[in-house]
C-alpha cells in the first residue's frame, strides 16, 4: 500500500543501472531542492512583544463582546468607523452576546498574529463563551496621536 504523500516516479540516474532506470519507485514528498508552492509561515523573534499586546487587546475585545466591559472603553483603540460599527452591532442585536455572569466569563483561548507587512498586523483569535467557540479577527495599523505618539489602532473588526 502506498502512502498518501508518495508518488510513482522514474528512478534517478545515480541509483540504478542503465537498464533499470524506468522501474517505478516511491518517492516521498516534498522533493529535495524544490520549494513548496505555498511557503510555511516563519515565526519571527521580534513579534513576541506585539503578540503580548495583541493578546491583551483581544482579551479586552472579548470582554466587550460578552458584555463584561462597556464598549466606550475601546474607543481609543478603534478607528471611528470600527467603533461605530461595533456599538451599532452590539445595540442592534439586543446587546452583547449575553448578560455578564460572574461564574463563567468569556475567555480568550488562542491568539495568532500575522504581519501583512512591517506596518500592518492581522490578528485572529478564538474565544470560548458559554461552551461555544467564537472567532474574532482584527487588523491593526500604526497611528500617530495628536501628541506625536505612535500606537496600534484597530481598522477592521469581524466576529462570529
Give the per-residue pLDDT at 39.
46
How do the domains of the chain map onto residue ranges? 1-35, 47-159
Cell numbers 514528498: residue: 29
Give the per-residue pLDDT at 42.
47
Cell numbers 469581524: residue: 158
Give me the half-sphere count of Cα atoms (radius 13 Å) on the Cβ side of residue 151: 13
Least confident range from 16-25, 60-69, 73-82, 90-99: namely 16-25
Interval 86-143: pLDDT, tens: 999 888 765 555 555 556 788 899 999 988 888 888 999 999 988 889 999 999 999 8
- In this prediction the pTM is 0.65
Determine if residue 53 is left, alpha or beta; phi over 0 gives left, psi from -120 to 50 gives alpha, anything else beta.
alpha
Highest average pLDDT, of 21-35, 87-101, 145-159, comes from 145-159
Range 47-159 has CATH code 3.10.450? yes
State the Cα–Cα distance between residues 152 and 111, nearest whole angstrom.
Answer: 16
Interval 43-72: pLDDT, tens: 555 667 788 888 899 999 999 988 888 999
Amino acid at each position: 500500500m502506498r502512502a498518501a504523500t508518495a508518488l510513482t516516479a522514474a528512478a534517478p540516474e545515480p541509483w540504478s543501472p542503465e537498464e533499470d532506470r524506468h522501474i517505478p519507485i516511491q518517492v516521498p514528498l516534498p522533493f529535495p531542492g524544490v520549494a513548496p508552492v505555498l511557503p510555511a509561515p516563519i515565526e519571527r523573534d521580534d513579534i513576541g512583544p506585539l503578540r503580548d499586546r495583541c493578546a491583551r487587546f483581544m482579551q479586552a475585545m472579548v470582554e466587550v463582546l460578552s458584555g463584561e466591559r462597556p464598549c466606550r472603553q475601546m474607543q481609543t483603540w478603534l478607528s471611528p468607523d470600527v467603533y461605530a460599527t461595533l456599538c451599532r452591532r452590539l445595540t442592534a442585536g439586543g446587546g452583547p452576546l449575553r448578560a455578564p455572569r460572574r461564574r463563567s466569563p468569556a475567555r480568550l483561548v488562542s491568539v495568532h498574529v500575522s504581519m501583512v507587512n512591517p506596518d500592518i498586523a492581522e490578528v485572529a483569535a478564538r474565544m470560548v463563551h458559554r461552551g461555544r467557540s467564537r472567532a474574532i479577527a482584527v487588523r491593526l495599523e500604526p497611528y500617530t496621536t495628536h501628541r506625536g505618539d505612535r500606537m496600534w489602532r484597530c481598522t477592521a473588526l469581524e466576529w462570529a
